[in-house]
Amino acid sequence: KIVEYIEMLLYKEKDLVGKNILITAGPTREDIDPVRFITNRSTGKMGYAIAKAARDRGANVTLITGPTDLTPPSFIDVVNVYSAEDMYRAVSDRFDKCDVLIMSAAVADYRPKEKSNIKIKKSDDDLKIELTRNKDILYEIKEKKSRQVVIGFAAETNDVLENATKKIKKKNLDYIIANDVSQKDSGFGTDTNTIKIIDKFGNVKDYPNMSKLDVAHTILNLLVK
Amino acid sequence: KIVEYIEMLLYKEKDLVGKNILITAGPTREDIDPVRFITNRSTGKMGYAIAKAARDRGANVTLITGPTDLTPPSFIDVVNVYSAEDMYRAVSDRFDKCDVLIMSAAVADYRPKEKSNIKIKKSDDDLKIELTRNKDILYEIKEKKSRQVVIGFAAETNDVLENATKKIKKKNLDYIIANDVSQKDSGFGTDTNTIKIIDKFGNVKDYPNMSKLDVAHTILNLLVK
């Protein structure tokens, strides 16, 4: 903790002082029953890196995180959530007071329609799980947007750019960070990422493969130019 | 690693020397698409504790493990698997040569009938996932059983004893370790466990809440009495 404190003090560029930055990270879990759940490959590394970088640059950071195995950076506020519904509530409760929302969590799009309170017994038959849509956090929040800069992520495996551009419009985002999670050294669980940054005017900028901490600083640079 | 080596040497009761013990641990993951999957709350702690305890007592240990965040004990063979199908193959390839199989993994009973090769786009509609049964590893393997002692686990939330007794018969097990995963301090992710050991004659023995390492030694004691 002392090492982290010194690291933070030594970081020279304090260009985010006074900014309240809300960052989401990790996957969510959608319970089928008390034992089984649906989740995704997100490990939280990207969001945690952004939280650390923003803290070092002087921002007031709140990290809303799904279940991960990472230790969150010190000297920030951490809110632990489990499901997409928890995540929605945690973000919307805090959105009004933030200046920037960076939504790097991989929030589940669907949850089981019904959660069984006891472990579903297996049978020889096939099984159907009915899924229903979770609220789209960025879409829901766009009505409340005033001064906030809102940055989304698009983890795609195909038509990365096309899907990202659609998302910007639909959710009224300022930027979207698109990455092709089917590429090696990019996306879930890796320590590096290859991203494209797309702004609301449709400008696209490609970046080389970088560490997630370098990607974090690149994203935060958008807030100070 | 040196510490672990000394720990292993110092463990006095070498009562499992020469025994080939196959242990499974952790959850499995059943892919829906390249991003989403179904899994369960198993963290692998119980199986890893059994592997460590068996190694310390002199056994030749092979640990077949689903995705976990644990570091496996040193000086044992480790086989990493992902899905229930991988786990089935890994176990059946090694069953003939083992003396003991301890099946502590929480193997998924079901997998999505079809895995999409691209991330399924969300739509406003509900979604149905069709699931199909995975092979029941212990049930499949029972035909091959000769000298082997086979120990299963039953992670239940209700009717724990009744369900465990059924499993013993159906899968021709020597013992089943039953635990109620809905209890606090027992089951998934905890460092302790409260178990009942049921043998094939229907005898049930209750144990108090113990560390998972103590539970591991209790289970291994079944092999030397």
Query: Å from B67 to nearest chain A CA?
Result: 11
Whether B206 and chain A come into contact, CB under 8 Å, resolves to: no
- CB of A141 within 8 A of CB of A64? no
Query: What is the structure's pLDDT at A55?
Result: 96
By the CB < 8 Å criterion, does B181 face chain A? Answer: yes
Domain boundaries in chain A?
2-108+133-221
pLDDT at B202: 86
- Looking at the predicted structure, is the pLDDT value of residue A13 above 80? yes
Minimal C-alpha gap between A124 and chain B (Å): 7
Average pLDDT over residues B35-60: 96
Candidates B37, B129, B132, B163: best to mutate against A (most CBs of A within 10 A) is B129
Q: What is the 3-state secondary structure (H, E, C) of chain B?
A: CHHHHHHHHHCCCCCCCCCEEEEEECECCEECCCCEEEEECCCCHHHHHHHHHHHHCCCEEEEEECCCCCCCCCCCEEEECCCHHHHHHHHHHHHCCCCEEEECCECCCEEECCCCCCCCCCCCCCEEEEEEECCCHHHHHHHHCCCCEEEEEEEECCCHHHHHHHHHHHHCCCEEEEEECCCCCCCCCCCEECCEEEECCCCEEECCCEEHHHHHHHHHHCCCC
What residues of B are annotated to the active site?
A: 40
Closest alpha carbon within chain A to B117: A157
Q: What is the mean predicted confidence (pLDDT) over A65-69?
A: 96
pLDDT at residue number B214: 96
Q: pLDDT tens across B187-213, in order?
A: 788 899 999 999 998 899 999 999 999
Q: How many residues belong to chain A? A: 225
> What is the architecture of the domain spanning A2-108+133-221?
3-Layer(aba) Sandwich (3.40)
C-alpha to C-alpha distance for A44 and A21, rounded to whole angstroms: 17
CA distance A174 to B32: 31
pLDDT of A157 over the 80 cut: no
The CATH code of domain B2-109+130-221 reads 3.40.50.10300
CA angle A171, A107, B34 (to 5 degrees): 110
Is the predicted ipTM greater than 0.90, yes or no? no
C-alpha B176/C-alpha B161 separation (Å) is 10
